Amino acid sequence: MERDQKVAFITGCSSGMGRESARHLSQNGYRVYAGSRTPEKLSDIASSTLYPILIDITDPTSVAQALEGIDRIDLLVNNAGYGLVSTVEEVTEKEMLAQFDVNVFGVLRMCRYVIPIMRRQNSGVIINISSFLGKIGLPLFTLYNASKYALEGITDSLRYELEEFHIRVHSIMPGFFDTNFARDNLVINDAIFKEDSPYRKTVAQLLPIISEQINSGNDPRDIAQMILEIAENGDAPARQTAGDKARKFIPMRRELSDEDFERRVKVYYGI
């Protein structure tokens, strides 16, 4: 590795935003550790600057092993995550805990291990891949919403906590992107499809729309470019939106009252 080459560690790199971000950073001067539970899926893009690495962010031992021997990290991208589709009434204990274990505690585990490295360097950038649903609620996505709201809170607090060590913390709030998310990264509670589910009307109306919007969404390469820009710009804003839906709904959420915003969402999604 060249002495001045920057080092990035990205989680959730087997597909979508993580894969594109790993590739883009490796092509723009970074040595990239591309973390995944299935690193073999990255063999086709592995190179002298892109190293697939096994990591399970729900397992502290796996996190420690993945980071062992890495003494410099300039950029941490917390990208790994998934969406749980369920009502609160029908969610299982296992589903509920798993959603937070990946989307919230997994991020905290990564930060807990990487921050000491950055603190010793007296520099670093942490970018949390959140969601516009970290600011906006939707039925059936309550647990996912809550996990991303939590991630926004983590971002806000860490910005204060790490400022004196010259570690910047940022959040990217994507809308719907074409990343196979609806096919590969949505976990759906079976109970919501049962005939006796009291929520079957909402499920039948909303879920097909959301799935279609995800799978016909924006290009994940936009996120990869945004990550690079934030990493290289010391004056980057704390959080940025990406994609059509995020740019539509986030400003609207700021401008309208809670009640007016809810009415707009109900009309938009026909719920």
pLDDT tens string 108-156:
999 999 999 999 999 999 999 999 999 999 999 999 999 999 999 999 9
Q: Which residue has the tokens 């001045």?
A: 4
Q: Which residue has the tokens 């707009």?
A: 264
Q: Structural domains in the chain?
A: 6-269 (3.40.50.720)
**What sign results for the dihedral spanned by CA atoms 81, 84, 88, 94?**
negative
Query: Any bridge partners for residue 76, and if so which?
Result: 9, 126
Identify which of 220, 224, 193 has the alpha carbon closest to the alpha carbon of residue 206: 193
Predicted TM-score (pTM) of this structure: 0.93
Q: Is it the case that residue 218 has pLDDT exceeding 60?
A: yes
Q: Which are the contacts of 111, defined by CB distance < 8 A and separation ≥ 6?
A: 76, 78, 126, 154, 158
Neighbours of 167 (CB within 10 A): 22
Quote the CA–CA distance of 138 and 242 in Å, as a whole number. Answer: 18
pLDDT tens string 32-77:
999 999 999 999 999 999 999 999 999 999 999 999 999 999 999 9
Q: Is it the case that residue 107 has pLDDT exceeding 70?
A: yes
Return the active site residues: 14, 130, 144, 148
